[in-house]
Structure 1
Amino acid sequence: MASVSKLPAALLRLRQANLNMVGKLTVVTAVMFGFGYAMVPMYKHICEALGINVLSLTEQQVPGAAGRARNTQVDLTRTITVEFDANARGPWDFKPEMRTVRVHPGEVTTVVYEFHNRQSRTMAAQAIPSYAPKQATAHFNKLECFCFTEHTLAPGETKRWPVVFVIDPKLPKDVSTITLSYTFFEVGGKVPAAPGGSV
């Protein structure tokens, strides 16, 4: 009978231990949920305080950003003159809309070239770029260019294509003028022996 009288006390302790464990797990769950919920604003405030991950913030959120240039890679102490040239080998017109631009290294710039097929037939053509001086080649980075692909033009069709480029700030200091020249060749067609004109 003694063992029977001890049984309710043991069950009571077990039940109390279970209730304590449920209470602890409830607190841990609530703390984990609260931490997860608070993580986003905490992360934002920590990043702002340390000045990291500012690319994802608007100018209004970054202290003092309104007075600064947005692209810190632009070298405002230098100006490079970029000249544009176009050579067409065949019965078509090919020219840049502007002959020169003055840019700062690191500045993204867009220029447009125009092509007109004067033939009475469809043609496929592609442009090949070249640079002068030669040491500028590695520092003239085209982000978008019609020279990357072959183009098909219908008889009499005119197209305008952009060239988006940036000049690497590591361009040697003695280079102040770069010439970007394109030669437009017909692909798979008859190419005249000499250039049809340089515009």
Structure 2
Amino acid sequence: MSDDTQEVKGLNRQMLGKLLVIAVLMFGFGYALIPVYKQICEVMGINVLTQKDGTVEFDKNTQVDKSRTITVDFDGNAQGPWRFRPVVNSMQVHPGELATVMYEVVNTQARTVNAQAIPSYTPQSATPHFKKVECFCFKQQTLKPNEARQMPVVFFIDPALPKDVKNITLSYTFFEIAGLSQAE
């Protein structure tokens, strides 16, 4: 081999060594960022899921309007082979306050049934102010034969609700989705 070929091979090995060192340093830097990120978040008080003593503290919700009370009535209508009803008929909430209500459904058939719940609100002006965080109405429900289930609705009333609205009715119609039932 000529000297030029040997020199090129030497330069290539030298470049490979430099690239390997850079790759290892980059990996180490990325790996080191995790504890650095956690420390920065802890010092700044952001993205902290648990306190140092292991207890979780939630800040008081300053969005709750304690000067107003809204009565929320609950209703359940069944269009299909089941019993469907709210566990409580009404509750009083303050605008901005997180609340939970349970609905109970019982499949009275000896077959699996797929169903969906559709909500409606009265008065209609309350509809954009009724905010659901979690709801069984977000997806289809599959009920096995004779299955009973309690399903939550977690909600809050937007404080921007017009002052003249004192009562809201949340009504669900629970109906079978045609063509999706499975014979047992």
TM-score normalized with structure 2 length: 0.67
Aligned to 1:88: 78
Mark the CA change 1:128 to 1:70 in structure 2 (over 3 Å): closer, same or farther. same
1:136 is matched with which residue: 126, 137, 148?
A: 126
Alignment equivalent of 1:74, drawn from 64, 85, 94: 64
| Among candidates 168, 171, 175, match of residue 178 of structure 1 | 168
Separation (CA, whole Å) in 1 of partners of 2:107 and 2:155: 26
Gaps of 5+ in 1: 1-35, 48-52, 60-68, 191-199
TM-score normalised by length of structure 1: 0.62
Please, which of 129, 147, 156 is the counterpart of residue 137 of structure 2? 147
Q: Distance in 1 between matches of 2:102 and 2:95?
A: 19
Q: Structure 1 residue 120: deviation in Å?
A: 1.1
Q: Please tell me the root mean square deviation across aligned C-alpha atoms, in Å.
A: 2.7
Displacement of 1:54 after TM fit? Answer: 8.2
C-alpha distance after superposition, 1:5-26 (max 9, x if no partner): xxxxxxxxxxxxxxxxxxxxxx
Q: Measure the CA separation in 2 of the matches of 1:90 and 1:56.
A: 46
* Percentage identity across paired residues of the two chains: 58
Runs of 4 or more consecutive aligned structure 1 residues displaced over 6 Å after TM superposition: none
- Tell me the equivalent position of 1:126: 116
> Could you say if the C-alpha distance between residues 119 and 189 of structure 1 is closer, same or farther in structure 2, counting changes exceeding 3 Å?
farther
Deviation sequence 1:120-146 (CA, Å, 0-9, x none): 111000000000000100000000000
User: Rg bigger for which structure?
Assistant: 1
Q: 2:97: which partner in 1?
A: 107
Matches within 5 A, 1:25-104: 70-104=60-94
Q: Distance in 2 between matches of 1:165 and 1:56?
A: 25
Which one has the bigger helix percentage?
1
1:165 matches 2:183 = no
